[in-house]
Structure 1
């Protein structure tokens, strides 16, 4: 499940539960809407994500690339330790900013 909130030039995409092949389309749509809104920054709140698989990582990478192409800062916020480990192993944290 995903929710979008725009305030003060920042669009926050909050992700919840498991991000996998069954839910990834919601993530793709939400990130696409966030980029299309051309905010000053996109923050992806991952505090409530219990698990992310390769399709979910692909959606985050795609969202990051689209934001980068539009020169919109893209930040991953508050991933759990388990999710952070997957992000580290994927190499995504080498290119995307993460806040604790």
Structure 2
């Protein structure tokens, strides 16, 4: 899990490998301090090879947290397995998804 400050109020969180029962807490811990500020939090899922319900719950919980703050959450370039899970669960209709960090408006 990597966290990188970008220009302005943007932060890029890069997730690799499995996002599951064993790793989802790492994502939640990385996102928590970012979601209480006026930030645009970009979660790069391009290198995620597996996403289970626990990982999905982390993403949904982060989205819900932004509804109570001025933070915004955007998913970046979900890998095919992640896209499939997002589509099957309907989460792709709720969370904002972009092909790259540059494609996300301020």
**TM-score normalised by length of structure 1:** 0.90
The one-character-per-residue Cα deviations of 1:11-58 (angstroms, maximum 9, x if unpaired) are 11111110111111101101112213x143111010111110000000
Aligned length: 98
Q: For 1:92 and 1:68, how far apart are their aligned partners in 2?
A: 16
Match of 2:22 in 1: 22
- The structural deviation recorded for 1:71 is 2.8
* Structure 1: 4+ residue segments shifted above 6 A: none
Structure 2 unaligned residues grouped into runs of 5+ = 100-106
Instruction: Measure how far apart 1:77 and its partner are.
Output: 0.3
CA shift for structure 1 position 86: 0.5
Query: Which of 64-73 and 21-30 deviates more?
Result: 64-73
Q: How does 1:17-96 map to 2 (within 5 A)?
A: 17-36=17-36, 38-96=37-95
Question: Paired residue for 2:96?
Answer: 97
In 1, Cα distance between equivalents of 2:38 and 2:32: 12
Alpha-carbon distance, 1:68 to partner: 2.2
User: TM-score w.r.t. structure 2 length?
Assistant: 0.86
Distance 1:97 1:76, change over 3 A: same
